[in-house]
Chains A and B, each alone.
Chain A
């Protein structure tokens, strides 16, 4: 077990290096130049000399391979470089925004799990009855409604019915939990709805498969209570694919909250990605893409470990 965990952890490194190399290559073939973009936006008169000096300061005048070596050397020292736009270290730009996005992702996951597992179970147990159809409608609609529009509707609803506007400035949870939740609960609901639709579907179909198994029939024959059969025999086994779906969606939320953050005016990782992309901030984009890829790889790894815990038949070798 320990050996398996260690090998898996070691394998993460080459994958991340490949991601880093790919992102570097792709970002450098991008047309559009941050120096010109930033100085022109500044609105002042620019001589070619100024542009050259700025490029030299950012290291953009060096040949591509030299920039690449600099970049890799930085990565080895766990240094993601400095943002070409703000001049602040990339790691700090990300660190400022990561707590908010992480908190939102965790809250959305909680909403999804709390809604999806009971609904999916109900739908599977009462297959073909009205409650099953209701759950199906719920999840089909959840996949179709854009979460950013749901967010807009939530704000609209709160404003028109309760004359209440959620706070628009972020308060860290350790400063004032109430103010923090008052702001984040709405985007968590908007994102969580879509997320729970995916998970409820998965729960239903996984549970239906398990309920057809012989050992479930045996459990019924033994005269066990329905609650025990569902909880101990069926649900526990059906949860494996559900865990995968939830894990993947969670990983995607780290970078994928782009639009929702915009709607709720949240200064998170998603907004940083949009800003970095529209400002051609190469170093910042590289750092962010590495973050998104690491989140995915890490969650995949944790899901595999969780598998072993849920299903003792899985051993690592």
Chain B
């Protein structure tokens, strides 16, 4: 028993094994089971999107006029649509569109917003004032109106949709990240960096940016669900992803009254896919927010 520290002996006597600190991921899974479940659903949807060509039972864009409006059954689990296309296959391929738009727009919007926010907080003064007034104005529009207006300017298509949604996220990310960056600016290490003659860019990216990663990640995850909802809404209006690209919102287009009595499955399944995806992103985002920074509760 030689070479033991006092603490180890106390622990051994008390019959408690010294506990190794759990891996952060393991701790997250244990403390936030709901968030973990959301993460699992997100992972499954990502895999579904990547592996769509192997998972989907049919070609999502192949018309089959002999099998229009087939109810759900053994051949077509979720039925077929007005062109005889397999609804399940279109939902699987739609996951691809949703994930590309969701992650693309959220990462782009949160990142640009964070950079602008940190820069605005760092320079302060007139720069900050001008940026904040602009952000004030942009925030006074509902996100969907902002995105619609941007679509009007740049046009329709998947890449442009990502840009439009990202642009409408920027002011919201800017606002939150700037608030954290303002306090980071006053810290001693930023002052020290300035004192040894570090340039603006170096201070912003090496010293300030790493310290606003928590609000950045929280914004990013809260954008993911919203981005998927926005993509679905804009595609539903015909101002997002265009046919024949499989997208959940697009599948609901015209499905309301026209197909309600004939083919209700056309309206039910894509909406269910949207809801499950957004739900997964939201619960995952909430758990991540609680784990990273409980003060950021919204």
Do A and B form a real pair?
yes
Chain A residues within CB distance 8 Å of chain B: 15, 18-19, 22, 26, 29-32, 140-141, 143-146, 148-149, 151-153, 155-156, 159-160, 165, 168, 205, 252, 255-256, 258-259, 262-263, 265, 273-274, 277-278, 280, 285, 289, 292-293, 296-297
Decide: A30 and B137 in contact? CB cutoff 8 A.
no
Chain B residue at minimal CB-CB distance from A288 = B145
Choose one: B239, B274, B282; the contact of A149 (CB below 8 Å): B274
Most chain A beta carbons < 10 A, residue from B133, B140, B264, B271:
B140
Decide: B145 and A18 in contact? CB cutoff 8 A.
no
Which residues of A are found within 8 Å of B278, using beta-carbon distances?
Answer: 143-146
Choose one: A22, A146, A160; the contact of B264 (CB below 8 Å): A160
Which residues of A are found within 8 Å of B152, using beta-carbon distances?
Answer: 30, 277-278, 280, 285
* Alpha-carbon distance between A256 and B260 when the two chains are bound, in angstroms: 25
> What per-residue 1/0 map shows which CB atoms of B187-225 lie under 8 Å from chain A?
000000000000000000000000000000000000001
CB of A314, distance to nearest CB on chain B (Å): 22
CB of A255, distance to nearest CB on chain B (Å): 5
Choose one: B141, B233, B237, B239; the contact of A146 (CB below 8 Å): B233
CB of A248, distance to nearest CB on chain B (Å): 10
* Alpha-carbon distance between A18 and B138 when the two chains are bound, in angstroms: 11
CB of A130, distance to nearest CB on chain B (Å): 16
Choose one: A143, A146, A156, A168; the contact of B282 (CB below 8 Å): A143
Chain A residue at minimal CB-CB distance from B257 = A155
Q: Known: A144-B282, A152-B267, A274-B239. Is A289-B141 also a contact (CB below 8 A)?
A: yes
Decide: A258 and B233 in contact? CB cutoff 8 A.
yes
Chain B residues within CB distance 8 Å of chain A: 133, 136-137, 140-142, 144-145, 148-149, 151-153, 155, 225, 229, 232-233, 236-237, 239, 252, 255-257, 260-261, 264, 267-268, 271, 274-276, 278-279, 282-283, 297
Decide: A146 and B274 in contact? CB cutoff 8 A.
yes
Chain A residue at minimal CB-CB distance from B140 = A296
CB of B277, distance to nearest CB on chain A (Å): 8
Q: Known: A140-B283, A146-B275, A149-B271. Is A255-B264 also a contact (CB below 8 A)?
A: no
Decide: B236 and A292 in contact? CB cutoff 8 A.
no
Choose one: A149, A255, A297; the contact of B145 (CB below 8 Å): A255
CB of A183, distance to nearest CB on chain B (Å): 13
* Alpha-carbon distance between A136 and B115 when the two chains are bound, in angstroms: 34
Choose one: A140, A155, A285; the contact of B149 (CB below 8 Å): A285
Decide: B145 and A258 in contact? CB cutoff 8 A.
yes
Decide: B141 and A296 in contact? CB cutoff 8 A.
yes
Decide: B256 and A160 in contact? CB cutoff 8 A.
no
Which residues of A are found within 8 Å of B260, using beta-carbon distances?
Answer: 152, 155-156, 159-160
* Alpha-carbon distance between A148 and B232 when the two chains are bound, in angstroms: 10
CB of A30, distance to nearest CB on chain B (Å): 5
Chain B residue at minimal CB-CB distance from A260 = B233
Chain B residue at minimal CB-CB distance from A281 = B152
Decide: B271 and A160 in contact? CB cutoff 8 A.
no
Choose one: A31, A144, A156; the contact of B279 (CB below 8 Å): A144
* Alpha-carbon distance between A287 and B229 when the two chains are bound, in angstroms: 27
Which residues of B are found within 8 Å of A22, using beta-carbon distances?
Answer: 137
* Alpha-carbon distance between A252 and B172 when the two chains are bound, in angstroms: 15
Which residues of A are found within 8 Å of B137, using beta-carbon distances?
Answer: 15, 18-19, 22, 293
Can you list 5 contacts pairing A with B, beta carbon distance less than 8 Å? A26-B149, A141-B275, A152-B267, A255-B142, A285-B152
CB of B290, distance to nearest CB on chain A (Å): 12
Decide: A262 and B237 in contact? CB cutoff 8 A.
yes
Decide: B275 and A149 in contact? CB cutoff 8 A.
yes
Which residues of B are found within 8 Å of A30, using beta-carbon distances?
Answer: 152-153
CB of A287, distance to nearest CB on chain B (Å): 13
* Alpha-carbon distance between A103 and B12 when the two chains are bound, in angstroms: 71
* Alpha-carbon distance between A273 and B152 when the two chains are bound, in angstroms: 11
CB of A124, distance to nearest CB on chain B (Å): 14
Which residues of A are found within 8 Å of B225, using beta-carbon distances?
Answer: 143-144
Decide: A289 and B275 in contact? CB cutoff 8 A.
no
Choose one: A32, A156, A256, A265; the contact of B267 (CB below 8 Å): A156
